C-alpha cells in the first residue's frame, strides 16, 4: 500500500528542524530511520501531514563515551552502536540487547533514538533505557530539557515529547563494573517483536544485592519496572526459595492482556519463565547465587 499524501522537509540543521516543528500549523512527524513509521503510514494506521527528515543534520549524529556514560545522537543507527568499539565493556547490557532488535536489515536503518521515541511496548530499547535509568535530552525552539526514562514513556506509542519537541540524544549512565545483567525475550519468530521480555540489572556488595532493576516489556502496555520484585531482591542473594518468590511476584505484579498472538494466561506464564532465566544469568554474573 501507499501512504497518504504528506509534505516532506529535510533540514540540514537542528535549528531548522526545530523551527519547522514550531511553525508548522499541522501535525509534523520526525523521520529518522523510518523502520517503524513508514510501515504504519503505508498501512494507514498512522497519518502524518508533514514529515521532517533529520538525517542531514550532522550535529545529531554522534556516539560519545566518557566517564559520565554513553551518549547516542538521534540519527545513530542501531547497527552503528552495535559496532561501536568497546561497547561490550562500556555497557554490556546494551550490547546484549541490540542484536535482539528485529533483523540485520532493519537494524542497519533503524535508529536508537527512533525506537525510543516510537515507544512500542514490545521493543527492547525502551525497557533497557528504563532499567539503566537513562536520560533523554529533548529540545524545542523554547529550550532544552532532560527527561528520565521512567518519565518519558507514558502509554504505548506515547511519550513525554510535546508537539514541537525533538529527542536529540539519549544518555546511558556509566556502567558499574561488577553488576550482573541479562535480557530475554520470546517472539513468534526470530526477529519478531516480543510476546514478552524481561530485563534485569543487579548490583552486588559483599555477597548481597544492593540494587535491583527488573523491567517487563511486551506483555501489556508500556514497559514497567516491577518494584515489589526489586524490593524482594534488595539486601539478599538469590536462593532457590527467593527466586521462586520473585518470579511469583513478577507474575502477580505485571498486568497482561490477550491479543491475537497469545492469551493473557500464556503471557503470564511466559513472563515467569523469562524472569527466572534472566535472574539466574544476572545473579551468576554478579556472583549472587547461593545454594
Same domain, 68 and 145: yes
101 in Cβ contact with 81 (< 8 Å): no
CA distance 65 to 87: 9
Residue count (the chain): 291
93 in Cβ contact with 79 (< 8 Å): no
Same domain, 191 and 169: no
Same domain, 44 and 65: no
CATH of the domain at 15: 3.30.43.10
Same domain, 40 and 71: no
Last residue of one domain, picked from the residues 173, 196, 219? 173
CATH of the domain at 66: 3.30.465.10
pLDDT tens digits along 99-113? 999 889 999 999 999
Q: Please report the pLDDT score of residue 43 as a whole number.
A: 56
Q: Please report the pLDDT score of residue 250 as a whole number.
A: 96
Last residue of one domain, picked from the residues 173, 191, 217? 173
What single DSSP character describes residue 59? G
Cα-Cα-Cα-Cα dihedral sign, residues 264, 268, 270, 271: positive
Give pTM, 2 decimals: 0.93
Helix (H) or strand (E) holding 115: helix 112-118
Give the mean pLDDT of 267-287.
96
Backbone dihedral region for residue 206 (phi beyond 0: left; psi -120 to 50: alpha; all else: beta) = left
Same domain, 145 and 205: no
Q: Please report the pLDDT score of residue 260 as a whole number.
A: 85
Same domain, 68 and 164: yes
pLDDT tens digits along 36-77? 666 565 556 567 778 899 999 999 999 999 999 999 999 999
**Strand blocks (E) in the chain:** 7-9, 28-31, 50-53, 63-66, 69-73, 135-140, 143-148, 153-155, 158-159, 166-173, 180-186, 196-205, 208-217, 224-225
Same domain, 17 and 68: no
Residue from 199, 214, 217 nearest 246 by CA: 214
Q: For residue 85, give the C-alpha cell.
A: 568499539
Q: Please report the pLDDT score of residue 157 as a whole number.
A: 83
pLDDT band at 248 (very low <50, low <70, confident <90, very high): very high
Q: Please report the pLDDT score of residue 249 as a whole number.
A: 97
SS3 readout for 118-145: HCCCCCHHHHHHHHCCCEEEEEECCEEE
- The number of domains in the chain is 3
pLDDT tens digits along 196-230? 999 999 999 998 999 999 999 998 778 999 999 99
CATH of the domain at 231: 3.30.390.50
Per DSSP, the residues of 215-250 read EEESSSSS-EE-HHHHHHHTTS-B-HHHHHHHHHHH
Same domain, 134 and 222: no
Q: Considering the domain boundaries, does residue 11 fall inside one?
A: yes
CA distance 188 to 181: 24
Same domain, 155 and 94: yes
Q: Domain range for residue 21?
A: 7-53
What single DSSP character describes residue 161? -
CA distance 148 to 170: 10
pLDDT tens digits along 106-148? 999 999 999 999 999 889 999 999 999 999 999 999 999 999 9
Same domain, 157 and 83: yes
Q: Considering the domain boundaries, does residue 1 fall inside one?
A: no
Amino acid at each position: 500500500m501507499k501512504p497518504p499524501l504528506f509534505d516532506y522537509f529535510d533540514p540540514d540543521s537542528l535549528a531548522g528542524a526545530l523551527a519547522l516543528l514550531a511553525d508548522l500549523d499541522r501535525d509534523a512527524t520526525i523521520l529518522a530511520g523510518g523502520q517503524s513509521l513508514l510501515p504504519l503510514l503505508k498501512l494507514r494506521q498512522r497519518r502524518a501531514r508533514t514529515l521532517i527528515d533529520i538525517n542531514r543534520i550532522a550535529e545529531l549524529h554522534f556516539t560519545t563515551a566518557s566517564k559520565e556514560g554513553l551518549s547516542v545522537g538521534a540519527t545513530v543507527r542501531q547497527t552503528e552502536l552495535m559496532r561501536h568499539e568497546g561497547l561490550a565493556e562500556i555497557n554490556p547490557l546494551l550490547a546484549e540487547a541490540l542484536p535482539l532488535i528485529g533483523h540485520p536489515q532493519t537494524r542497519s536503518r533503524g535508529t536508537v533514538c527512533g525506537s525510543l521515541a516510537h515507544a512500542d511496548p514490545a521493543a527492547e530499547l525502551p525497557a533497557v533505557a528504563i532499567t539503566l535509568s537513562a536520560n533523554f535530552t529533548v529540545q524545542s525552539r523554547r529550550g532544552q530539557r532532560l527527561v528520565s526514562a521512567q518519565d518519558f514513556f507514558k502509554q504505548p506509542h506515547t511519550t513525554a515529547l510535546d508537539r514541537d519537541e525533538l529527542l536529540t540524544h539519549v544518555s546511558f549512565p556509566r556502567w558499574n563494573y561488577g553488576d550482573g545483567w541479562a535480557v530475554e525475550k520470546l517472539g513468534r519468530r526470530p526477529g519478531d517483536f516480543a510476546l514478552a521480555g524481561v530485563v534485569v540489572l543487579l548490583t552486588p556488595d559483599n555477597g548481597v544485592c544492593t540494587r535491583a532493576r527488573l523491567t517487563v516489556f511486551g506483555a501489556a502496555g508500556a514497559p514497567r519496572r516491577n518494584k515489589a520484585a526489586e524490593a524482594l531482591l534488595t539486601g539478599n542473594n538469590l536462593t532457590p526459595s527467593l527466586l521462586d518468590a520473585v518470579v511469583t511476584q513478577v507474575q502477580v505484579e505485571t498486568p497482561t492482556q490477550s491479543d491475537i498472538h497469545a492469551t493473557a494466561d500464556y503471557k503470564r506464564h511466559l513472563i515467569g519463565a523469562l524472569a527466572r532465566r534472566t535472574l539466574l544469568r544476572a545473579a551468576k554474573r554478579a556472583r549472587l547465587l547461593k545454594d
